[in-house]
Structure 1
């Protein structure tokens, strides 16, 4: 059984350090940025050459990046709790950018090269409906094993541990930054990475404490598996940025607040060199694998991503619903 976060049950579960962060504080250290080196000398041809599609289909839309000029460490509230978790010192601003459609070119992208991969994975309509109904017991019993096998197949991992899942559905009356009441999470329209390196290592220690020391001797990844639930997607599709177009200074460590726990993610500063992709009219059997962490240093290690407003969407689109699985992926024999 996976270890998953619980809904807030009152102020007593919230540590004083977390409360201080919700009120804002001066970040005394230098701004923490992405410290993982990009690939410049290892397997250059295989891992460093950014894909250029011939005659690509693309759309222009706004991407919401971290607003520069902050004086405190960026802090984002994951779940709103009236009177406690309502505000954040993270500000974003919109930048127009081109998003390229990968349909027909999916095989040009992979987890180790670009940081993301598009794969086919059909599941029964009955299971789709159970996911849409938030039937957590059925999701963990039926959906988790399918995703474990999918990840093993596509990464050659020998072990997968799913630690979390989130069902998102767009409800226009709620915030458009991904927050919402428990059970009503919105598509996240800010550019971000789900795990900073400290959080990636921390996940292993937190969820598998008795085995963490040994597991961390081998290669460890965190991979998200994102799937539409009401395909074809007509509203707020998911866009992903090619890791090879992201510079270390573009990534800014950001606290992610939960009651009683603080994680760390990456916010992203705008860079016009970023290469963004999405899959048009994505169906329920078309999933995206998104790498959020990797202990390997000579290939893609993180993937900035965000929901986008698609200018080609119909006037009254079917509102987006999706599920994302977050999993620790272990290669216990890969110890290079």
Structure 2
């Protein structure tokens, strides 16, 4: 361990934390299947596990995409402040929306500047608004309360192909591409529910359980794809940012073609055990992007 890594490890040990229950993959017979179209074909099982989730607020700048697989940055969004971003995405809709495209353009430009990518484009159908169970206006997309990764090498390439076909964008040859996922609250603090993210260095490829996800007709692009569940491992190091504000943006790796089997970055929603009755029901927006490097 380098001196810098040892120093950061010492800092991490002093961070405040909450103790919460997260759901890892349980015993599954055969290929894991999550099927909302034919629920009788669903065979996934979960095992709850109690973990410590450390609050990065005091040391947020020490975490970065290259080392940990995630970063918390400050990013003001004009589109995120507009009520229609929430209201127009509470129900399942098509991939085209003026407010969605404005928001995605803001984030794409920021990601290009942050990462040095040659080009960044949004994943079509990759923007979702989620609400906690206490919200009066609930979204069709509920919080994903199990540890998972949204991409495998197969699905990352399929979503890229589908997005290029949908938009008609012509991408020049590239050496490497990455999927960046972004997540922010558009409700104020304190939240009753938030997102936990795992340090990619603390997870192994053997922790993954490949799963078929079916959310629509299998022949419809984006409705049938691979994702990954995760097995419990006491080595996993979990983090969150307390009392997030709309200017707080979580960016994390969903896929990296240079390290296609990496576990960057496992994540799960969880109910904050420190939340009181005055906590604000969480409303969050997530979006996904492809970044291309020469």
In the TM superposition, residue 330 of structure 1 has moved relative to its aligned partner by 1.0
**What SS does the corresponding residue of 2:84 show, helix, strand or coil?**
helix
Residues 1:57 and 2:47 are matched in the alignment: no
The partner residue of 1:74 within 32, 53, 58 is 32
The partner residue of 2:162 within 195, 206, 212 is 206
The partner residue of 2:127 within 165, 168, 175 is 165
**What SS does the corresponding residue of 2:161 show, helix, strand or coil?**
helix
Residues 1:156 and 2:116 are matched in the alignment: yes
The partner residue of 1:114 within 68, 84, 97 is 68
The partner residue of 1:196 within 129, 138, 152 is 152
* Per-residue Cα deviation, 1:108-131 (whole angstroms, up to 9, x for no partner): 111111111110011238743121
Q: Is contact 2:24-2:47 (8 Å) kept? A: yes
Change (3 A) 1:93 1:128: farther
* Per-residue Cα deviation, 1:61-88 (whole angstroms, up to 9, x for no partner): 1111001x322111113xx45xx34762
Q: Is contact 2:205-2:263 (8 Å) kept? A: no
Q: Structure 2: which 5+ residue stretches go unaligned? A: 90-95, 219-223
Residue matched to 1:314: 276
Change (3 A) 1:90 1:283: same
Q: Is contact 1:111-1:300 (8 Å) kept? A: no
Higher strand share: 2
Q: Is contact 1:48-1:244 (8 Å) kept? A: no
Change (3 A) 1:50 1:227: farther
Residues 1:275 and 2:234 are matched in the alignment: no
**What SS does the corresponding residue of 1:308 show, helix, strand or coil?**
strand
In the TM superposition, residue 299 of structure 1 has moved relative to its aligned partner by 11
Residues 1:225 and 2:225 are matched in the alignment: no
* Per-residue Cα deviation, 1:261-319 (whole angstroms, up to 9, x for no partner): 32011100000110000000011100100111001239966200001121110124211
* Cα distance in 2 between the residues matched to 1:225 and 1:46: 31
Q: Is contact 2:20-2:51 (8 Å) kept? A: yes
Change (3 A) 1:298 1:64: closer
Q: Structure 1: which 5+ residue stretches go unaligned? A: 1-43, 174-180
Q: Is contact 2:204-2:262 (8 Å) kept? A: no
Residues 1:137 and 2:93 are matched in the alignment: no
Change (3 A) 1:87 1:292: same
In the TM superposition, residue 138 of structure 1 has moved relative to its aligned partner by 3.1
Relative to the length of structure 1, the TM-score reads 0.74
* Cα distance in 1 between the residues matched to 2:104 and 2:170: 21
Residue matched to 2:192: 235
Residue matched to 1:32: none
Residue matched to 1:186: 142
Q: Is contact 2:79-2:103 (8 Å) kept? A: no
